[in-house]
Structure formats: structure tokens, C-alpha cells
Amino acid sequence: MAQVSIKNLTKSYDGKVKVLDGVDLEIAQGEVVFMLGTSGCGKSTLLRILAGLIAPDSGTISFDGQNILTLPPEKRHAAMVFQNYALWPNLNVFENVAFGLRMEKYPRKEIEKRVMESLDQVQMGAFAKKSVTQLSGGQQQRVALARALAVNPALLLLDEPLSNLDANLRDSMRREIKRICTERKLTALYVTHDRREALSMADRVGVMHKGKISQIGTPDEIYNHPLDGFTARFLGDVNRLPDGGIRPERLKISDSCGKLRARLVERSFFGDSCEWLFETEKQEKLLVRELAPPERKIGNEYFLDYDPAFLIPVPESADEQ
């Protein structure tokens, strides 16, 4: 585990557009931090600089106070889990996980011990002698994670590791990765564009936009108290009201009283929840999200109410697009 300090990190690939524009980030020992953002915001570039795969134009990075920018990738003790798994198809599961340890010339018995401990932790111990080409996508991702864990990294880097999995596998792997990070007290930086992953797994979440970290905080803080319109909208739907914005789940539907009167125009049913689209007298559209929804009739008028404490400031500006 390492305490990571990143200061004023910049990177441009063409000498004009800054992919990273003065990024500052502190990660405490044992903390799991997510970087969330759209494609091209700089989050994957940040990971690759930390791993030593590319060099920054300026800035500093230290692990436990030691400058690591002068170190080659293999000396940084930063293990990376890639989106496409990056496993060797000609090696079996055991040899894939052992690869990094063999490169560092660990003794044979130490390699066997670490490999099997890591495979057991991701529930793949029984597959040690299998070819990776015989594994499912979820199993291959577990092997890739085991390979990163085997080297006992100071910093675990995860680059959208679940994006190639189907929805059910993503949910189960989210729980697995969170469990493993907690059990091993790992320091980790995880980048994704999936807000569900970030909000459900992170100790803290940073939202990146145009090469900068626009906001960082606990999942609750950045979801319920975003500092700008981009962050507010990127983390979830926001209804615009005259006095601010409100999340769809914060609007309550009533037959008899409320701050707004609106007509129900559309219903989207998801089994355990429902999204209702309402139209106010001023033709403004408002989305309401409700668990265990009752029956309601399209075309009927209802009242909508909300607690002003949950209003979000959502200023419009050109750089938030």
C-alpha cells in the first residue's frame, strides 16, 4: 500500500490540446479512488502515466514521498488491470498470474504460494492449470486481477475492467473487486465512465472534465452536492426547477397537494422501479423515479412535492457541455 501524491500533472499528445491540465490528487493508504468521466477526459492517460507506460509533460508523482517518475514501470510497484484483460493465450492460468513474479525472479516456492493465494482470493484456484482461452470473460477478468494482486502492488490501477462484461457479470465483479480491495487494504485508482460502478464501490470519486478534476469527494457528497452543472448531470438525471435542480428520486407524487401541479404523460417500467414523465402547466418536463410504484393513469393530473434541502445548483455555461 502506498500514499500517492500527484501534483500539477500535465500531458498533451499534440503539443496543443492538454489531455491533462494541472491535475492534483492525493490518495491515502488503503483508499479506493475512482476517476469518472466521459471518453477523452484524461482519466486513462492519468493511469498510464502512473503505470509508467507514458511520460507526463510536467508535474510530480510520489509514492510514500518517493518520486516515481524517474523509475521504470517494473520498479514502481503499480500493477494495472486492463479493459481487455491482456492475458497471454499461450500460457495457462497459473503461468499468467506467475508472469510478473517470474520477471522479478522470485523463488519458485514463493511464486507458487503467491499465485495460489491470489487465485484463491478471486475464486479461481481450481482453474490454475486451465488454458485462459477456455475461460469466460468474467473468469478471464478474475485471472487478470489475480495477476495484479500476486505482485503485492503499492498501487492497484484499474482501467475500465468491467466494460466488456454483461450486466450480471459486472454486478458480481463489482462486489468481488470491492471485497478484495477491502480485505487486502489496497490503495487503488479505478477509472470508468460508469457512474454506478463509481458510486457503489469508491471511498472517494473524482469527476474529470476536459483534463481537470472538476470535483472530488465521497459518493454521497458529489451526488447530492455537485459543485457545477456538468458534475450534477453526469452523475444522474436532474430536473430543472425555477429555484434549482432536483434528482428524480427526490420528487414525490401526490393526489392531493404539492408545490407543482403536473400531468402524467409517460411511464417507463423497470420491474422494481418506475420512471414517470410529467408535464407542468408551463410545458416543462419533469422526471420522477419511484420504487415499488403503484398504478397510475397516463393523462391524469397529480401534485409533485420536494424538500428544498435537496435542490442542486445547476448553472449553465459553455464549458459544461
The model's pLDDT over 40-58, given as tens digits with 9 standing for 90+, comes to 899 999 999 999 999 999 9
- Find the range with the poorest average confidence among 208-217, 284-293, 306-315: 306-315
Residue 70 CB: number of other CB atoms within 10 A?
Answer: 7
Statement: residue 161 has pLDDT above 80: yes
| Count of CA atoms in the C-beta half-sphere (13 A) of 318 | 0
State the average pLDDT over residues 212-217.
96
Statement: residue 13 has pLDDT above 50: yes
Sign of CA dihedral 223, 225, 228, 233: positive
Residue partners of 4: CB distance under 8 A and separation at least 6: 25, 26, 27, 50, 61, 62, 63, 155, 187, 189
State the average pLDDT over residues 266-292.
94
- Domains of the chain by start residue, with CATH: 4-229 (3.40.50.300), 240-316 (2.40.50.140)
Confidence of residue 318 (pLDDT cuts 50, 70, 90): very low
C-alpha 166/C-alpha 86 separation (Å) is 18
pLDDT at 319: 47
C-alpha 278/C-alpha 275 separation (Å) is 10
- Max Cα-Cα span within the chain: 75
C-alpha 240/C-alpha 289 separation (Å) is 15
**Pair 34, 60: CB distance under 8 Å:** no
Percent of residues, the chain, with pLDDT higher than 90: 73
State the average pLDDT over residues 216-223.
96
C-alpha 154/C-alpha 30 separation (Å) is 10
Statement: residue 316 has pLDDT above 80: no
pLDDT tens digits, 162-201: 888 888 888 888 888 888 899 889 999 999 989 989 999 9
Mean pLDDT over each residue of the chain, to the nearest integer = 92
Residue partners of 195: CB distance under 8 A and separation at least 6: 36, 234, 235, 236
Question: Quick one: cell of 285?
Answer: 418536463
